[in-house]
Amino acid sequence: MGERHDHKGQELGDLEPGTRQRVRLRARVVDIAATALCVVLALWAVWSIVGVARGTAEWAYSAVACVLLTARTVGLRRGGVRSGR
C-alpha cells in the first residue's frame, strides 16, 4: 500500500503545519473523500437505473446520478493529469 521506512526507533514527530507528513495527510484525506464520493454516486446511479428498470423510479434520478458520476470522474482524471500523478 504505502512505503514503509525504518526510523530506527525514533518517533515521527508532530503533524505541525508545513511538514511533509501534514501535506501527505491532507492529500490522503482528499483522496479518501473523493473515493467515498465516487462510490456513493456509483451506488446511487445503479440504484436509480434498477428503479427505472423496475418502474419504481423516475428516469431523471438516474440521469442526474450518471451525470454527477461522470463529472466527478472526469474531474478526478483531469486533476490527476494536472498534478502529474
Q: Which domain holds residue 61?
A: 36-80
Give Cβ neighbours of residue 62 (< 8 Å, ≥ 6 apart): 45, 48, 49, 51, 52
Amino acid, res. 2: G
Domain assignment present for residue 56? The answer is yes
User: pLDDT digit string (tens) for 31-54?
Assistant: 898 888 888 888 888 888 888 888
Domain assignment present for residue 68? The answer is yes
pTM, 2 dp: 0.62
Domain assignment present for residue 73? The answer is yes
- Identify the pLDDT of residue 69: 83
Domain assignment present for residue 67? The answer is yes
> Computed over its alpha carbons, how large is the radius of gyration of the chain?
19
Structurally, how many domains does the chain consist of?
1
